[in-house]
Structure 1
Amino acid sequence: MSLKSGAPGAGRSGLARLGPLPWIAPAVVLILLVVLWPVYEMVHTSFLRISTSGFVRGSAGFDKYTKLFGEPDFYGVLGWTVIWTVVVVALTMVISLALAQLFNQQFPGRRLTRWALIAPWAASVLMTSIGFKWMLDRTAGVLNTAMTDLGLIDGPKDWLGDPSTAKPWMVLIAVFVSLPFTTYTLLAGLQTVPGEVYEAARVDGTGPWQTYRLITLPLLRPALLVGLVINLINVFNSFPVIWGTTQGGPDSATATTTVFAFQLMNTDIGESAAMSVVNFALIVVMVLAFLKVSRWNEES
C-alpha cells in the first residue's frame, strides 16, 4: 500500500484555499461602496467648481476651503457644535447611568418602565423632533397655551425662533432621543458584573461609595466607552433634531457643522463638500483622541 506525498493542503478544494475571504468579502465590498467611495467622492467634490445645477466647471483647488474658512458664520457654528456635542453627551451619559442603575434594581413596574424607555428609540428621531416643534409652536403649541393659562407667561413665546431658548430645547430633545440606547448599553454592562464580587466587598466591609467607585465603575468601563463613542459620533453628526426643529435658523445661529454643510449646498456644492470633509476629519480626530485618552486597549 503506497502513501501519496505532496505539499500540505494539496488536496484542499479551491474554495478552502481562499480561507475566510469568501465570508468577509461581502462586508469588504459593502464598506468600499458605502464608506470609502462616498468619502472619496466627498473629498474629490471639494476641489471642484460645480454649478447649483450640478455641472462641473473645472478644478477649484483649495478655493472652496478658503471660502469656507472665510464664512462669517463658520467659527460660530464650529463653537456651537463643540458645545452641543459636549453638553448633550455629558447629560445623556449621566442620566443614562442613573436610569441603568435604577432599572438594574427590583421594583414594582420595572418591566413597564423599561418598555416605556424604548418609545423614543422606536419612534423616528425626525418625527419626535417635529412633534416637539409643534408643541413649542408660537400660535398652536400646547406649551404656550398651558403656560399662559397657568399665568406663567404673559403671552405666546417663540421658543424656537430665539436662539437663546431654542438651543436648550434642542439639547433636551437630543438627550431625550439618546437615552434609550445609552441606558440599555449601560444596563447590559451592569448585568454582567458578578454578584459574588459585591458579596466579597460586603464581607470585606467596603462601603457603598467605595464599592461603586472601585468595583462598579471599573467593571462598567467597556460599556461606558461604547456609549460615549457612539454618542459622540451620533450627536456630532446629528441632523434630524436640528433640522426638524429650527433648520439651523435663524440664519445659522442654531446650526451645527452637519446642518451648515447642508445649508451651503443650496449656494455652493463644492463649499458644502469642503465643510463635509472638515466635519469628517473632526470626527476622526475626536474619536481617536478620545480612545487614546481613555486607553481603550488597556487592561483594567
Structure 2
Amino acid sequence: MTASTTTLVPPSPRGLRLSKAIPGALLLILPSLLLSAMVIGYPIFDVLRMSVADVNRFGRVLGFAGFDNFLAAFTDPIFLQSAWQTLIWTFCVVGGTVLISVPIAIILNEEFYGRTVARTIILLPWAVSLAMTALVWRFVVNGDFGTLNTTLSALGLPFDNFPWLADASTAFGIEILVGILVSMPFTVTIIMGGLTAIPDTLYEASRMDGARGLQGFRHITLPLLRPFLQIAVVLNVIYVFNSFPIIWIMTNGGPANRTDILITYVYKQAFGFGKLGTAAAGSVVMFAMLLAFSVLYLYMTRSREVQQ
C-alpha cells in the first residue's frame, strides 16, 4: 500500500505582491467610498423613509404611514397618466436617438473634407445647457412671435399664430424631437468609439468575399457595435427617464397634465402641493421602474450573447 503525497506549490511572487497590495488599495479608496455612501446612500434612504411616513409640507416626519403614500399615488389618475406618458417619452426619445445616431456616426467615421467641423457641429448641443436649449425652443415654437411660425408663414403655409404648445399632441411631439436633439451627441460619441474599434481588415475581407453595402453593415458593423449600443440604450434610458428641464421649461407638464412625466409629477407634488410623502412614493416607483428595466435589459442581452 503506497501512501499518496501532496505537492504544495508555493505562491508566486506576483501573487504575494498582489495580496499585500489589496489592503493598501482598499485603504486608499475608503474615503471615496464613504463620501459616495453619504452623497448617494443617504438621499436614497431618506426618500425611502419619507415614502412610508406622514410628512408635512416642511419635510417634518409626523409618523408612520405604511403604504398610504403609494396608495395615494396609484389611485391618482394623473400619476397613472404621467407613468404612461413617461414610457412613451422614453421609448420615442431613446429609440429615435439610436436610429438617427447610427447613420450619423457611420458618416462621421468616414474620411471627407470638413469632417472635424461636422463633428464639432454634432457635439454643439451637448455643450449647451439643457435648460437653455429648452428655453430657446420654447421661443422658436411660440404661437405669437416664434420663428417657426414666421418662417412657415413666409413660405406661404397657413401657420400664422399656430399654437404649437397649446395642443398636447403637438407639444409632446416637439418635446420628443428636442429630447432626441440633445441626446444625439452623447450617443453618436459612443457609437463612433465602437466604429473606431472595428478593424478595416474585416471590411476588406468581406469585400473580397462579395459582401457589398448593407451586407457589411448587417454582418460586421451591427454585431460588433452591439455592446456599444447596449451601453447607449441603458444610459440614455436612465437620462431621458429622469429628464426634467425640457418638459418643465417648455410646457410645465401642460396643457391639462398631458405632457407630464413622472419626474415633473413628483416635482409638482413636492413643491407645488406640498405632498412630500406622495412625491417620495413616486420617486421610489421611478427608481423601481429603472432598476427593473436595467436588470431585464441586461439579462436579455446577456442571454442573447450566450445563445450566439
Global fold match (TM > 0.5)? yes
Aligned Cα root-mean-square deviation (Å): 2.0
Q: Which runs of 5+ in 1 are unaligned?
A: 1-7
The answer (yes or no) to whether the contact 1:148–1:156 under 8 Å persists in 2 is no
CA drift at 1:17? 7.1
Distance (whole Å) between structure 2 residues aligned to residue 27 and residue 96 of structure 1: 35
State the identity %.
38
* SS of aligned partner of 1:278: helix
1:130-169 aligned at under 5 Å gives the runs 130-153=135-158, 155-169=160-174
Distance (whole Å) between structure 2 residues aligned to residue 31 and residue 296 of structure 1: 32
Q: Which residue matches 1:172?
A: 177
Distance (whole Å) between structure 2 residues aligned to residue 288 and residue 51 of structure 1: 35
Q: Which residue matches 2:72?
A: 67
Match of 2:237 among 229, 232, 235: 232
Distance (whole Å) between structure 1 residues aligned to residue 37 and residue 256 of structure 2: 36
Q: Which residue matches 1:294?
A: 301
The answer (yes or no) to whether the contact 2:145–2:161 under 8 Å persists in 1 is no
Q: Which residue matches 1:193?
A: 198
Q: Which residue matches 1:4?
A: none
The answer (yes or no) to whether the contact 2:149–2:159 under 8 Å persists in 1 is no
Distance (whole Å) between structure 1 residues aligned to residue 21 and residue 210 of structure 2: 58
Q: Residue 142 of structure 2 aligns to which amino acid in structure 1?
A: D
> Against the structure 1 CA distance between its residues 175 and 55, is the aligned structure 2 distance closer, same or farther, given a 3 Å change threshold?
same
Q: Which residue matches 1:83?
A: 88
TM-score normalised according to structure 2 size: 0.88
Q: Residue 287 of structure 1 aligns to which amino acid in structure 2?
A: S
Match of 2:131 among 114, 118, 126: 126
Q: Which residue matches 2:34?
A: 29
TM-score normalised according to structure 1 size: 0.90
CA drift at 1:258? 1.0
Q: Residue 23 of structure 2 aligns to which amino acid in structure 1?
A: L
The answer (yes or no) to whether the contact 1:135–1:141 under 8 Å persists in 2 is yes
Q: Which runs of 5+ in 2 are unaligned?
A: 1-12
Q: Which residue matches 1:281?
A: 288
How far does the alpha carbon of each residue in 1:159-193 deviate from its partner, in whole angstroms, 9 at most, with x for none?
11210110110000000000001001101100110
How far does the alpha carbon of each residue in 1:260-294 deviate from its partner, in whole angstroms, 9 at most, with x for none?
11111122110000000000000000111111111
How far does the alpha carbon of each residue in 1:184-205 deviate from its partner, in whole angstroms, 9 at most, with x for none?
1101100110111111112222
The answer (yes or no) to whether the contact 2:57–2:276 under 8 Å persists in 1 is yes
How far does the alpha carbon of each residue in 1:226-263 deviate from its partner, in whole angstroms, 9 at most, with x for none?
11111111111111111121111123210111111111
The answer (yes or no) to whether the contact 1:42–1:277 under 8 Å persists in 2 is yes
CA drift at 1:223? 1.1
Q: Which residue matches 2:276?
A: 269
Q: Which residue matches 2:61?
A: 56
1:36-47 aligned at under 5 Å gives the runs 36-47=41-52
Distance (whole Å) between structure 1 residues aligned to residue 265 and residue 195 of structure 2: 39
Q: Which residue matches 2:3?
A: none
Indicate yes or no: 2:137 matched with 1:97.
Answer: no
Going by fraction, where is helix more abundant, 1 or 2? 2
Query: Which piece of structure 1 moves more, 270-279 or 190-199?
Result: 190-199
The answer (yes or no) to whether the contact 2:134–2:250 under 8 Å persists in 1 is yes
How far does the alpha carbon of each residue in 1:25-75 deviate from its partner, in whole angstroms, 9 at most, with x for none?
233223312222211111101111122233322221111111111102122
How far does the alpha carbon of each residue in 1:98-157 deviate from its partner, in whole angstroms, 9 at most, with x for none?
100000111221111101111100000111001100111122211122223333125302
Distance (whole Å) between structure 1 residues aligned to residue 68 and residue 22 of structure 2: 50
CA drift at 1:18? 2.2
